[in-house]
């Protein structure tokens, strides 16, 4: 098609996530399999890489924006812009879940943290009793130094007894079929309580110089 030398790309194809050191494809394909195609970087410099008419340019590309160009009928055409993002990702998915405490009183704020190590891009989902009612605030902190970790914090303000249950986070790898989930059990009481059970009588007699132990069970 001389009016459409490049096959239109969908938005999902224009954002390319690739792990450090891995080859990838910049998917600019032509409607003419014999067309001469050049890959251009953001500095308008030609990038030399293997071109496959059914896939696009194949190679190890630094992070940045790339455009393809070709000639059709003496006119130069440019493809859509493709953005390559280099991500740090390990084949494993180390995940830890942390809760400052697991027993709360009504009205307190529940805070649960899920930490993903050594991976920059993951899909993380929470499951917890208040999720159906969309009760809860989720915050993400992307920490680079001294090591890479993603810290997802779930906050439940004004907790009630109905917020008692399992708090689970599930992390899925951005580029591999790997997932990991962790769980913590949170209990919310209607009010605080202390139960004392003394293990002695109201009146105790002690001989001179005798050592007497007074034991109280506290729950």
- 113: nearest Cα among 92, 136, 93: 136
pLDDT of residue 70: 93
pLDDT band at 49 (very low <50, low <70, confident <90, very high): very high
Summarised one tens digit per residue, pLDDT across range 5-31 is: 998 888 888 999 888 778 999 999 998
Domains in the chain: ranges and CATH: 11-87 (2.60.40.10), 95-189 (2.60.40.10)
Tell which wins on pLDDT, 146 or 19: 146
The distance between the two most distant Cα atoms of the chain, rounded to a whole number of Å, is 115
* Model pLDDT, residue 183: 95
Give percent above pLDDT 90 in the chain. Answer: 59
**What integer pLDDT is reported at residue 68 of this predicted model?**
95
């Amino acid at each position: 098609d001389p009016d459409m030398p490049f096959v239109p790309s969908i938005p999902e194809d224009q954002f390319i996530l690739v792990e450090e050191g891995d080859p990838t494809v910049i998917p600019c394909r032509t409607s003419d399999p014999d067309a001469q195609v050049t890959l251009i970087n953001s500095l308008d410099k030609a990038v030399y890489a293997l071109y496959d008419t059914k896939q696009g340019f194949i190679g190890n590309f630094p992070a940045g924006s790339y455009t393809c160009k070709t000639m059709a009928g003496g006119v130069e055409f440019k493809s859509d812009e493709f953005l390559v993002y280099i991500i740090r990702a390990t084949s494993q998915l180390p995940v830890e879940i942390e809760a400052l405490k697991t027993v709360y009183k009504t009205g307190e704020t529940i805070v649960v943290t899920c930490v993903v190590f050594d991976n920059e891009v993951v899909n993380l989902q929470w499951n917890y009793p208040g999720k159906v009612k969309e009760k809860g605030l989720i915050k993400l902190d992307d920490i680079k130094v001294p090591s890479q970790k993603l810290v997802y914090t779930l906050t439940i303000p004004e907790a009630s007894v109905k917020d008692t249950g399992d708090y689970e986070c599930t992390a899925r790898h951005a580029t591999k079929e790997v997932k990991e989930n962790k769980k913590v059990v949170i209990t919310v009481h209607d009010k605080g309580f202390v139960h004392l059970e003394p293990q002695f009588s109201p009146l105790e007699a002690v001989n001179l110089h005798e050592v007497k132990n007074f034991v109280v069970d506290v729950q």
